[in-house]
A = this chain, B = another copy of it.
Amino acid sequence: MAKKTKRSIQWVQKTDKQKYAGIHLIAEFWNGRIIEDPKKIENILIEAVKKAKSIPLKVAIHKFSPQGLTGVVLLAESHIALHAWPEINYLAIDIFTCGNKAMPHKAFEYFKKTFKPKKVEIKEIKRGRL
């Protein structure tokens, strides 16, 4: 899947002099669209990776019986994960990207557009903060 497997630290450097390895967006989606097709979820994850300007390495998806779906894409920049509980219409989304080229918020916007949750909570955590 990945053509490029080199990686080295690229600090995210903001004007306020903070320096950190990456950004981790932790999102909770409530009462949005329910998608239970693993192939569709895979496509959504891969599209999110593109929006985040990241490089996918491996994808793992699992469909539960009778309902529920869980998936993760391992990235050269860390990972994007999605865990769905249709029975309570809850979707846990993680977008963790390292480096100064990644666009994690773009992936988040794409997920929001795709799942159309009625309620969203989001936390942003700076990872590997010096």
Q: Which residues of A contact B (CB under 8 A)?
A: 2, 5-9, 21-22, 24, 26, 28, 57-60, 62-68, 70-72, 74-76, 78-79, 81, 83, 85, 87-88, 90, 92, 94, 96, 98, 123, 125, 127-129
> Known contacts A24-B26, A72-B60: does B5 contact A65 (CB below 8 Å)?
yes
Copies in the complex: 2
Grouping DSSP codes into helix (H, G, I), strand (E, B) and loop, the A interface class, with mixed when no group exceeds half, is strand
Contact between chains at B78 and A74 (CB < 8 Å): no
CB distance from A45 to the nearest CB of B (A): 12
CB distance from A29 to the nearest CB of B (A): 10
What would be 7 A-B contacts, judged by CB atoms less than 8 Å apart? A5-B65, A6-B64, A6-B65, A21-B92, A70-B78, A72-B79, A83-B98
